[in-house]
């Protein structure tokens, strides 16, 4: 039996399945305090005989197995969750192999194995919502090094018609600060979902996202880029992003056809939890 946790700042999605990822049972738990949240996580998993658990968490997290704080959520702005020993608490309860990565890395892995990048060896998954985060799979393996990717904080050039200063407390002109949901809301005094689909706001949004995708393309050269999250449910963004991407890249390198290269998640909102289950299964064979 496989267990999985997609740990988000708003909710934890817990799931169990058999080794074929069938008969999946899920539970959504509000992310409150660590004590309350873990208590409900344990209540759910205690009903099953687990062989392995895959965890994809909001971050930043420590993924360096040589570190004294491996398995911790570290400097997150989420109140009460800074320096939480996530894996330590799970290991105290369940003595089974555990996979530990970011929620977006897990989503990328899910999409590679069973989603929009199925049959390929690499992909990049970017979620655009309350924040912006990115994960990648390269040669079939989740991308990590000393730490994990923080793709939402790359710096981008300001659009000539945009005078917004940015919403990130660390970098005024990073992707998250200019293009995440809160930046859109503060810039236009309404949530993204209520903006007219023909608004010029979407062209500005697409310009920032396209800049980022050009940078990811030039550094990682993924076979597929998958854009998920609440903001990307505005489907009018995709052709605008592809147009800006084409102009900015300016034929410097070749890519797959952009309709197949810059795409939405095939697994939709289940990309993360699917990836976590798959990473749990991988623990049993590695």
- Strand pairing partners for 225? 124, 262
List, in order, residues 6 or more apart from 220 with CB less than 8 Å away. 122, 124, 136, 138, 143
Q: Among candidates 213, 202, 214, 195, which has minimal Cα distance to 161?
A: 202
The stretch 72-93 carries a mean pLDDT of: 95
Q: Taking a C-beta distance cutoff of 8 angstroms, is the pair 265, 226 a contact?
A: yes
The average confidence (pLDDT) of the chain is: 96
Confidence band for 170, pLDDT divided at 50, 70 and 90: confident
pLDDT (0 to 100) of residue 13: 98
**Structure tokens, 173:** 């002109």
Residue 147 in this model has a pLDDT that exceeds 90? no
Q: What's residue 142's pLDDT?
A: 96
- Please compute the mean of the pLDDT values over residues 99-117 and round it to a whole number: 98
Stretch 106-112: mean pLDDT, rounded?
Answer: 98
* CA atoms within a 13 Å half-sphere pointing along the CA-CB vector of 151: 30
Among 91-100, 144-153, 262-271, the range scoring the smallest mean pLDDT is 144-153
Query: What integer pLDDT is reported at residue 127 of this predicted model?
Result: 97
> What average pLDDT does this structure show over 51-72?
96
Q: State the average pLDDT over residues 79-90.
A: 97
Beta-strand runs (E) in the chain = 2-7, 11-17, 25-30, 52-57, 72-73, 84-85, 98-102, 123-128, 132-138, 141-142, 225-228, 262-263
pLDDT band at 72 (very low <50, low <70, confident <90, very high): very high
Task: Map tokens 């393996």 to a residue.
Answer: 141
* Domains located in the chain, CATH noted: 2-103 (3.30.420.40), 116-265 (3.30.420.40)
pLDDT digits (tens, 9 = 90+) for 174-186: 999 999 999 999 9
Residue 157: alpha-carbon gap to chain centroid: 23
> Smallest Cα–Cα separation from 164: which of 177, 148, 153?
177
Residue 286 confidence (pLDDT) above 80: no
User: Which pLDDT score, from 0 to 100, does residue 176 have?
Assistant: 95
User: Contact, 135 vs 6, CB < 8 A?
Assistant: no
Burial-class residue 79 by CB neighbours within 10 Å (0-12, 13-18, 19+): exposed
Read off the pLDDT of each residue in 184-199 and give the average, rounded to a whole number.
95
Per-residue pLDDT tens digits for 224-249: 999 999 999 999 999 999 999 999 99
Q: What is the pLDDT of residue 255?
A: 97
Chain-centroid distance, C-alpha 155 = 18
Which of 163, 258, 240, 168 is closest to 202 using CA atoms? 240
Q: Are 255 and 261 in contact (CB under 8 A)?
A: yes
Portion of the chain with pLDDT greater than 70, in percent: 100
Q: Tell me the C-alpha distance between 235 and 106, whole Å.
A: 23
pLDDT at position 40: 98
d(CA 40, CA 43): 5
Which band of pLDDT confidence, cut at 50, 70 and 90, is reported for residue 169? confident
| DSSP 3-state of 253 | coil
Q: What is the pTM of this model?
A: 0.96
pLDDT, average across residues 160-180: 92
């Amino acid at each position: 039996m496989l267990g999985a946790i997609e740990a988000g700042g708003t909710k934890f999605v817990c799931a169990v399945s058999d080794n074929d990822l069938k008969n999946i049972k899920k539970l959504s738990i509000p992310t409150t305090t660590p004590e309350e949240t873990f208590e409900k996580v344990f209540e759910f998993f205690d009903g099953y005989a687990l062989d392995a658990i895959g965890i994809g968490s909001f971050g930043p997290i420590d993924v360096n197995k040589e570190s004294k704080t491996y398995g911790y959520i570290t400097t997150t702005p989420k109140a009460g969750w800074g320096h939480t020993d996530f894996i330590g608490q799970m290991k105290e309860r369940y003595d089974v192999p555990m996979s530990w990565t970011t929620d977006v890395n897990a989503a990328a892995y899910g999409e590679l194995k069973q989603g929009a990048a199925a049959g390929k060896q690499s992909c990049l998954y970017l979620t655009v919502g309350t924040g912006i985060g990115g994960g990648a799979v390269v040669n079939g393996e989740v991308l990590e090094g000393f730490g994990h990717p923080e793709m939402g904080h790359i710096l981008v050039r300001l659009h000539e018609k945009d005078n917004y200063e940015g919403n990130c407390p660390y970098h005024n002109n990073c992707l998250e600060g200019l293009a995440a949901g809160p930046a859109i809301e503060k810039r236009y005094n309404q949530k993204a979902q209520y903006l007219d689909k023909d608004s010029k706001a979407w062209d500005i949004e697409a310009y920032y996202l396209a800049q980022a995708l050009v940078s990811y393309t030039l550094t990682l050269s993924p076979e597929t880029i998958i854009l998920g999250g609440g903001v990307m449910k505005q489907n009018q963004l995709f052709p605008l992003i592809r147009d800006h991407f084409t102009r900015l890249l300016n034929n410097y390198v070749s890519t797959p056809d952009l309709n197949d290269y810059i795409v939405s998640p095939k697994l939709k909102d289940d990309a993360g939890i699917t990836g976590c289950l798959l990473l749990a299964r991988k623990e049993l064979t590695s």
